[in-house]
């Protein structure tokens, strides 16, 4: 059965107290909306429509970035969830498959859950995702008769008996797209909120003799974000799951609660991650690497057996091949480092390539930026860069070249050559003592004057 996703993302998120639309707030480095789209991707949707409203342009841009090919419907005025879904109708005109409605602020619905809903559609016209709520609060209540869902009653409109129900509406709904829009056309707004409730389609369908049911999921999946505190709780839930998944996949986390993953971090087995390591988006770590304490990695690839940190910073575009070593206070950006090369102390590499087995001495800096443009530094294989070398890009050092420490390298160095680019040392006998005496007498005189 083909599926279309309709993602509701028009909410203002007043309780976030933010200038940024709610669905653009991030969990694990990705906007809430991207998490919801990611879950929906498990259904291989034929079409995806994102309904935007407040802050529409930035939401649309984020939706396109997260799921290329999405279409955007705009809900100019916020009149309720049924009205929001109705905005997607023109973009799904003539579409005969199923539609699944998701919320952009509900990031954790599992793909398996959506598949269970699709399976239930084989026997029911409408399938709603429900959950047993520990505290049902203001959620809509699902009124069941056996496995038949009779209607959904919003908290505000519910009597005491209905409010006592604990089986609640997550908001996720699956139905044939033509039926969904037909029922939505009939939804009115004569209720406690004066809104067009999507939830009313269930009662309308039952009134016509159509069938509806609810699939149950874990309450944690339906966690919605309405405030900064909810956002922090969502982050914590994500991190707990990501840590568990990494360990289950054979990764050692020495202090799991201190390691922070991004939504797309990939770590292969037998990698050991020490305490206080942070992964930004786009990191892939191969088998058997070691990430030592207080390292920050984003947008980079780390090869098998590499040793990173402590206190290393790997920025986007960094590729480290097998068995490379990157030590403390080393920053690397947009650079490729070949197998076995070492950059162990206090260095910056930007827009560079380093050949196999080369050793970059302490305090080496690629001067990659002239204030206007970035330039490349190419270091060959088996090169030895002396400590505190400035590599003024663009510059190329051939295989097995060497630089004297403290050099400022502004010209290419041919393979096998030693480059020394610093002033020659001069020793002046007795001069230090004379200078000390002079300085001391000056200090004494100046004190005498002040008193
Ligand atoms: C809704 C459900 C309720 C369910 C709860 C689960 C209805 C009428 N009620 O209530 O049964 O228990 O979600 O969290 O559907 N939105 C729009 N445009 C609108 C209104 C809403 O895009 O005009 C979006 C919101 O941004 C949000 C989602 O739809 O992502 C749900 O809206 P919200 O106002 O939070 O619904 P609730 O009152 O929480
Ligand atoms: Ca809500």
Which ligand 1 atom is the nearest neighbour of the CA of 8?
Answer: 22
Neighbours of 284 (CB within 10 A): 16
Q: Which of 11, 86, 128, 184 is the best mutation target for the ligand 1 pocket, counting ligand atoms within 8 Å of the beta carbon and taking the most?
A: 11
Question: What does the alpha-carbon distance between residue 241 and residue 354 come to, in Å, rounded to a whole number?
Answer: 37
pLDDT of residue 12: 78
User: What distance in angstroms lies between residue 56's CA and the mean position of ligand 2's atoms?
Assistant: 19
Mean pLDDT of 91-95: 97
Question: What does the alpha-carbon distance between residue 295 and residue 274 come to, in Å, rounded to a whole number?
Answer: 9
The closest of 79, 55, 199 to 87, measured between CA atoms, is: 79
Ligand 1: residue whose CA is nearest its atom 21: 81
- β-pair partners for 129: 215
The closest of 104, 52, 105, 79 to 193, measured between CA atoms, is: 79
pLDDT of residue 11: 82
State CA 135 to chain mean position distance. 30
The closest of 295, 289, 249 to 275, measured between CA atoms, is: 295
Q: Quick check: 213 and 148 in contact, CB under 8 A? A: yes
Task: Indicate the pLDDT class of residue 412, thresholds 50, 70 and 90.
Answer: very high
The CATH code of the domain at 228-419 is 2.160.10.10
Task: Indicate the pLDDT class of residue 1, thresholds 50, 70 and 90.
Answer: confident
pLDDT of residue 97: 97
- pLDDT digit string (tens) for 239-260? 999 999 999 999 999 999 999 9
The number of C-alpha atoms within 13 Å of 4 and in the hemisphere containing its C-beta is 26
Higher pLDDT, 54 or 15: 15
pLDDT of residue 447: 80
Mean pLDDT of 95-117: 96
Question: What does the alpha-carbon distance between residue 272 and residue 267 come to, in Å, rounded to a whole number?
Answer: 10
pLDDT of residue 399: 98
User: Is the pLDDT assigned to residue 203 strictly greater than 60?
Assistant: yes
Active site residue ranges: 345
User: Is the pLDDT assigned to residue 328 strictly greater than 70?
Assistant: yes
- pLDDT digit string (tens) for 120-171? 999 999 999 999 999 999 999 999 999 999 999 999 999 999 999 999 999 9
- Phi, psi of 24, deg, nearest 5: -95, -5
Q: Quick check: 386 and 403 in contact, CB under 8 A? A: yes
Neighbours of 439 (CB within 10 A): 10
Task: Indicate the pLDDT class of residue 341, thresholds 50, 70 and 90.
Answer: very high
User: What distance in angstroms lies between residue 170's CA and the mean position of ligand 2's atoms?
Assistant: 9
Q: Quick check: 350 and 369 in contact, CB under 8 A? A: yes
DSSP per residue over 156-210, as a string?
A: GG--HHHHT--EEEEEEEEEEHHHHHHHHHH----STT----TTHHHHHHHHTT-
Q: Quick check: 241 and 259 in contact, CB under 8 A? A: no
- pLDDT digit string (tens) for 231-244? 999 999 999 999 99
Question: What does the alpha-carbon distance between residue 385 and residue 379 come to, in Å, rounded to a whole number?
Answer: 9
- H or E element that contains 120: helix 111-120
Per-residue CA distances from 337 to 80, 379, 382 (Å): 54, 9, 12
Task: Indicate the pLDDT class of residue 180, thresholds 50, 70 and 90.
Answer: very high
- Residue 33: which residues within 8 A CB-CB, separation 6 or more? 7, 9, 23, 24, 50, 59, 62, 63, 66, 104
User: Is the pLDDT assigned to residue 400 strictly greater than 90?
Assistant: yes
Q: Quick check: 304 and 289 in contact, CB under 8 A? A: yes
User: What distance in angstroms lies between residue 195's CA and the mean position of ligand 1's atoms?
Assistant: 10
E strand map for 39-166: 47-52, 71-74, 98-103, 126-132, 141-145, 148-153
User: Is the pLDDT assigned to residue 451 strictly greater than 70?
Assistant: no
pLDDT of residue 449: 66
Ligand 1: residue whose CA is nearest its atom 6: 170
Which segment of 15-19, 52-56, 209-213, 342-346 scores lowest on mean pLDDT? Answer: 52-56
What are the extents of the domains in the chain?
3-222, 228-419
Residues lining ligand 1, CB < 6 A? Answer: 8, 10-11, 51, 75, 78-81, 83-84, 103-105, 139-140, 152, 154, 168-171, 197-199, 224
Q: Is the peptide bond before 46 cis (omega within 30 degrees of 0)?
A: no
Q: Quick check: 251 and 274 in contact, CB under 8 A? A: no
pLDDT of residue 225: 95
For the chain, the straight-line distance linking the first and the last C-alpha, in angstroms and rounded, comes to 96
Q: Which ligand is nearest to the CA of 171?
A: 1
User: Is the pLDDT assigned to residue 181 strictly greater than 90?
Assistant: yes
Which ligand 1 atom is the nearest neighbour of the CA of 138?
Answer: 12
- DSSP 8-state secondary structure symbol assigned to residue 14: G
Q: Which ligand is nearest to the CA of 157?
A: 1
Q: Which ligand is nearest to the CA of 12?
A: 1
Assign a CATH topology to domain 3-222: Spore Coat Polysaccharide Biosynthesis Protein SpsA; Chain A (3.90.550)
Please provide the average confidence, as pLDDT, over all residues in the chain. 96
Question: What does the alpha-carbon distance between residue 41 and residue 136 come to, in Å, rounded to a whole number?
Answer: 29
Q: Quick check: 334 and 351 in contact, CB under 8 A? A: yes
């Amino acid at each position: 059965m083909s599926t279309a996703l309709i993602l509701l993302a028009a909410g203002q998120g007043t309780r976030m107290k933010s200038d940024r639309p709610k669905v653009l707030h991030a969990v694990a480095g990705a906007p809430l909306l991207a998490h919801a789209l990611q879950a929906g991707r498990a259904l291989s949707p034929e079409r995806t429509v994102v309904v935007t409203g407040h802050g529409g342009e930035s939401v649309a841009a984020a939706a396109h970035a997260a799921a290329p090919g999405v279409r955007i419907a705009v809900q100019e005025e916020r009149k309720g969830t049924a009205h929001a879904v109705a905005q997607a109708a023109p973009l799904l005109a003539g579409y005969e498959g199923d539609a699944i409605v998701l919320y952009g602020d509900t990031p954790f619905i599992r793909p398996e859950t959506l598949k269970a809903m699709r399976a239930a559609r084989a026997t029911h016209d409408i399938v709603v995702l429900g959950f047993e709520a520990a505290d049902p609060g203001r959620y809509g209540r699902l009124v069941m008769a056996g496995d038949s869902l009779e209607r959904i009653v919003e908290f505000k409109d519910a009597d005491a008996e209905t409010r006592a129900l604990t089986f609640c509406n997550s908001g996720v709904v699956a139905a044939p797209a033509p039926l969904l829009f037909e029922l939505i056309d009939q939804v009115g707004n004569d209720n406690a909120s004066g809104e067009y409730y999507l939830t009313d389609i269930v009662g309308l369908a039952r009134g016509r003799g159509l069938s509806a049911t609810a699939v149950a999921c874990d309450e944690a999946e339906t966690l919605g974000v309405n405030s900064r505190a909810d956002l922090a709780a969502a982050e914590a839930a994500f991190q707990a799951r990501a840590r568990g998944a990494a360990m289950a996949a054979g990764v050692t986390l020495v202090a799991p609660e201190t390691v922070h993953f991004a939504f797309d971090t990939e770590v292969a087995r037998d990698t050991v991650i020490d305490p206080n390591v942070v992964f930004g988006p786009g990191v892939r770590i191969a088998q058997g690497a070691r990430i030592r304490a207080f390292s920050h990695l984003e947008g980079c690839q780390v090869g098998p057996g590499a040793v990173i940190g402590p206190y290393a910073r790997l920025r986007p575009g960094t590729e480290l091949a097998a068995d490379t070593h990157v030590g403390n206070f080393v920053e690397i950006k947009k650079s490729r480092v070949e197998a076995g090369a070492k950059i162990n102390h206090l260095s910056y590499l930007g827009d560079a390539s380093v050949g196999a087995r080369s050793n970059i001495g302490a305090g080496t800096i690629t001067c990659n930026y002239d204030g206007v443009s970035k330039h490349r530094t190419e270091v060959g294989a088996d090169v030895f860069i002396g400590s505190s070398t400035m590599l003024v890009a663009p510059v190329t050092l051939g295989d097995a070249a060497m630089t004297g420490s403290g050099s400022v390298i502004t010209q290419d160095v041919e393979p096998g050559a030693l480059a020394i680019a610093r002033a020659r040392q001069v020793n002046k006998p007795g001069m230090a003592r004379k200078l000390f005496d002079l300085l001391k007498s000056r200090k004494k005189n100046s004190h005498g004057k002040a008193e």
